[in-house]
Amino acid sequence: MLATTTGLTGWAYLTALTLHLICVIVGFGGVILNGIWGKAQSRLTGEAAAAVGKPLELVSKIAEMFILAVPVFGIAALLLSDKVYTFKEPWVSASLGLYLVGLAISFGVLQPAARRLGPLTATQPAGAPDRVSLEKRIAASSGMLHLILLLVVLLMVFGPTTSWLVA
């Protein structure tokens, strides 16, 4: 049944697609609830805030590795599809572009703000202006990242079935 290595029924394609999906689930699933952890941390100070921050930081680091592997396995699946899917597909290029925008927001806005917020939770009370400013930046960038994730999921799910619309 899985005698071929490429094509939509080949073992290599199916393996790459499976690894792509696992990375999506573990990576984005790992960080999607960070807002809840962050909101809990924003109400705390000192050791209590640090206690919430440590697992949040660990989960984020692990999830980040899976998120960075998402396009590796996605592109591998694309290349192993025997040209059923190509970079010329609008949903493929749009998804990759949105992923790159998401990385820029994450590494350029969200993570620097989170790193600056960490030490403030130990020294400033909840509601302090510096903390609130960083928390708002984190919330805004997280909202943008959630929207980008939703758009990419929609493109990945419905893009392959609607390619005939742009042909």
Question: How would you write the pLDDT of the chain (167 residues) with one tens digit per residue?
Answer: 455 666 788 899 999 999 999 999 999 998 988 878 777 777 777 777 777 777 888 888 999 999 999 999 999 999 999 999 999 999 999 999 999 999 999 999 999 998 898 888 778 887 889 989 998 999 999 999 999 999 999 999 988 876 545 55
Cα–Cα distance, 135 to 118 (Å, whole number): 11
Q: What is the pTM of this model?
A: 0.85
pLDDT in tens, 19-41: 999 999 999 998 988 878 777 77
Do 84 and 62 meet the contact criterion of CB atoms below 8 Å apart?
no
DSSP string computed for 96-140: HHHHHHHHHHIIIIIHHHHHHHHHHHHHS-TT-HHHHHHHHHHHH
Q: Of 116, 99, 134, 121, which Cα lies nearest the Cα of 46?
A: 121
pLDDT of residue 160: 83
